[in-house]
């Protein structure tokens, strides 16, 4: 008996119509969340989500499922805290088991510069609603007894920031619950239906050209990951986005014994144990831009080596599987959400390595923007026009991390 077999959700597929109020490109977490919140919060259900493959098949199904709000700038902390809060209520709201587990994140420091960065992070996060405290090595040991506080003699832990609301959830189930919730209320999701072009009515985007024919829409939202630059180009937009690979791997499954999520920005890796018992490890993005989904050996090799400094118990665990997603990186390491300057065309992108944790808040806010016509205050700082206005949301502290 496998308790992880999905036994609750029901996906209802319907044939495409010729016209919708809202057409969303990309049935990943953000696209489906937008449809979900349009339906549940605003009663807008004449909505279609177009997906070139299967739902959640892109980065929504390839991330390391971490939910946290301990970012580096006030606007980001507030936004991600909203997402943390929505995630906490999402199981109850959808009445679905999403394997949401609050387990806390420890962010280790091995140098004085890192200690001050973590102290600073703790202070700034707490000020803007994402409870975080700086903890001493003794407390780190209590929170994670498996961790070698001496770092193998080479990377001693001098302290850590601890963000107790850090959590994980099963990525696929989040995607399916949002899809189910939207579908139940009448929204359409069309798999294996790539969007091949946009229908332009003068300046205005008035629909999408799909493999299954043209579809008119009052509003078109790009919630694409990976190839967002191509979709934007169809609307005549050039985005400040570069796409990089991000890799991860899991071990076989073991008894549940590893409590928190642990991260080290100096050793460049983070680790957690999944609900199923696998140790899940990730690191920073690959430095060179790429659309490739291919995994590399040097990634798993280097992360294993680095992780062994802090987690020596992993030496004898077998690595089961590695995989790769692609990250759309913006120049300031913050997402881009909202209007585009092209009437009828909205965008949610730049999700870098933080897309999964932002799914509910991103969807909620995009839905509110589309429904009300007003950019909500929470995402106003993240508009595309910020680059031209010299109002970038620089978040160096979040660069390349999960």
Partner 1 sequence: MATLLVDGRRVEAQAGDSLLVALVRAGLHPTGGGCLCAGGDCPNCLVTVDGVAYTRSCQVQAVAGMEVTREHLGDEEPALLAKEPTSAGNAAPVRHVHCDTVVIGQGDSGREAAREAGEAGLHVVTLDAREGQHVTGVYPGPLVVASDKAGRVLHVHPRREIVVATGAAEIQPVVPGSDLEGLVTARGAAELVAAGIDLGRAVAVGERPAGLPERTLTGHFPVGEGGWELVRFEGGGRIEAVVVRRHGDTGAAEERIECDTAILGLGRNPRNALARMAFDLPVRVVGSAAAEPELPPCPREGTVCPCSGVTVADLDGVWGRGFHEMELLKRATLAGTGTCQGGVCLPYLRSFLLERGGRLQPAFTARPLNRQLTVRELAAGAHTAVTARSPLHDEHLSLGARMDRAGGWWRPWTYGRRDDEYRSVRERVSLGDVSSLGKMLISGPDAEAFLERIVPTRVATIRSGRCRYVLMLDERAYLLDDGILCREVTAGPGSGDLLDDGMLCREADQGAGDRFFLTSTSGGSGFFELWLRDWAEAFGCDVRILNQTASLAAINVTGPQAARLLARAGARELPAFGRHRAVRIAGVDCRVVRLSFTGELSYELHHPAADAPRLWRRLLATGAGFKVQPHGLETLLRLRLEKGHIVIGQDTDYDSTPRRLAHEWAVNLDKGDFVGRQAILRTNKQPLDKRLVTLRADEPPAREAGDPSAEGAAIHDGDRYAGYVTSDAGTTADGGVPMLGWLYLDAEGKLPREVTVDGRPARRVDGPTYDPDGERARTAVDTASETPENIRKLPVARSEATDLAAEAPAEPPLLRRLEATRVSATSKALDALVERPPWIAGALAFRIAPDELLVTASPDFEVASDPHAIVERETAFSYVWLEEGAAERFLDRECEWRRPDTRPALAQGEVAGIPAKLWFEAGRTLILTPAPFAAAFQRRLARSLAEIDGDGA
Considering only residues 259 through 288, tell me which ones interact with partner 1, judged by CB under 8 A. 266-267, 273, 276-277, 279
The answer to whether 344 touches 204, Cβ cutoff 8 Å, is yes
In sequence order, the 6+-apart residues with CB closer than 8 A to the CB of 281 are: 248, 249, 250, 269, 270, 271, 303, 304, 307
> For partner 1, which is the closer residue by CB, 150 or 214?
150
Which of 95, 238, 294, 373 is close enough to bind partner 1 by CB under 8 A?
294
- Phi then psi dihedrals of residue 307, to 5 deg: -65, -30
Which of 20, 50, 107, 134 is close enough to bind partner 1 by CB under 8 A?
134
In sequence order, the 6+-apart residues with CB closer than 8 A to the CB of 287 are: 244
Residue 333 interacting with partner 1 (CB under 8 A): yes
Specify the DSSP element, H or E, that contains 367. helix 359-372
Site for partner 1 in 84-123 (CB under 8 A): 110-113, 116, 119-123
Residue 307 interacting with partner 1 (CB under 8 A): yes
Q: Which of 47, 17, 95 is nearest to 371 (CA)?
A: 47
Which of 214, 253, 371, 380 is close enough to bind partner 1 by CB under 8 A?
253
Q: Which of 180, 182, 162 is nearest to 172 (CA)?
A: 180
Site for partner 1 in 51-70 (CB under 8 A): 53-57, 61
User: Rounded to the nearest whole angstrom, what is the least distance from the CB of residue 206 to partner 1 in the complex?
Assistant: 30
Residue 341 interacting with partner 1 (CB under 8 A): no
Residue 238 interacting with partner 1 (CB under 8 A): no
CA distance 325 to 59: 5
User: Rounded to the nearest whole angstrom, what is the least distance from the CB of residue 371 to partner 1 in the complex?
Assistant: 27
Residue 43 interacting with partner 1 (CB under 8 A): no
Site for partner 1 in 361-390 (CB under 8 A): 389-390
Site for partner 1 in 176-235 (CB under 8 A): 176, 191
CA distance 271 to 250: 9
The answer to whether 241 touches 328, Cβ cutoff 8 Å, is yes
Residue 14 interacting with partner 1 (CB under 8 A): no
CA distance 335 to 337: 6
Which of 147, 172, 225, 353 is close enough to bind partner 1 by CB under 8 A?
172
Residues contacting partner 1: total by CB under 8 A: 88
């Amino acid at each position: 008996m496998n308790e992880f077999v999905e036994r609750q959700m029901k996906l209802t597929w319907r044939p495409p119509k010729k016209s919708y109020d809202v057409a969303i490109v990309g049935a990943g977490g953000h696209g489906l969340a937008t449809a979900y919140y349009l339906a549940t919060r605003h009663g807008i259900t004449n909505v279609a989500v177009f997906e070139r493959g299967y739902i959640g098949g892109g980065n929504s199904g390839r991330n390391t499922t971490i939910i946290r709000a301990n970012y580096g700038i006030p606007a980001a902390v507030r936004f991600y805290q909203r997402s943390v809060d929505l995630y906490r209520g999402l199981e109850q709201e959808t009445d679905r088991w999403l394997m949401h587990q609050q387990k806390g994140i420890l962010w280790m420091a091995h140098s004085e510069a890192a200690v001050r960065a973590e102290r600073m992070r703790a202070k700034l996060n707490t000020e803007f609603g994402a409870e975080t405290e700086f903890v001493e090595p003794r407390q780190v040991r209590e929170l994670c007894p498996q961790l070698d506080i001496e770092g193998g003699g080479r990377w001693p832990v001098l302290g850590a920031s601890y963000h107790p609301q850090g959590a994980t959830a099963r990525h696929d189930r989040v995607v399916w619950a949002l899809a189910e919730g939207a579908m139940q209320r009448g929204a359409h999701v069309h798999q294996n239906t790539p969007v091949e072009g946009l229908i332009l009515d003068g300046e205005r985007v008035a629909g999408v050209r799909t493999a299954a024919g043209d579809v008119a829409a009052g509003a078109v939202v790009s919630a694409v990951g990976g190839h967002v630059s191509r979709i934007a180009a169809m609307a005549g937009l050039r985005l400040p986005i570069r796409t990089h690979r991000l890799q991860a791997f899991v071990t076989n499954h073991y008894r549940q014994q590893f409590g928190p999520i642990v991260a080290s920005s100096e050793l460049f890796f983070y680790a957690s144990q999944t609900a199923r018992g696998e140790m899940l490890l990730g690191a920073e993005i690959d430095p060179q831009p790429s659309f490739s989904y291919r995994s590399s050996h040097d990634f798993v090799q280097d992360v294993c080596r680095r992780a062994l400094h802090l987690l020596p118990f992993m030496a004898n665990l077998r690595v089961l599987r590695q995989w790769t997603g692609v990250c759309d990186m913006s120049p300031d390491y913050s997402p881009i959400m909202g209007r585009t300057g092209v009437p009828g065309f909205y965008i949610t992108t730049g999700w870098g390595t933080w897309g999964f944790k932002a799914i509910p808040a991103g969807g909620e806010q995009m839905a509110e923007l589309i429904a009300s016509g007003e950019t909500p205050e929470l995402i106003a700082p993240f508009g595309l026009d910020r680059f031209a206005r010299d109002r970038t949301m620089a978040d160096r502290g979040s660069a390349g991390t999960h």
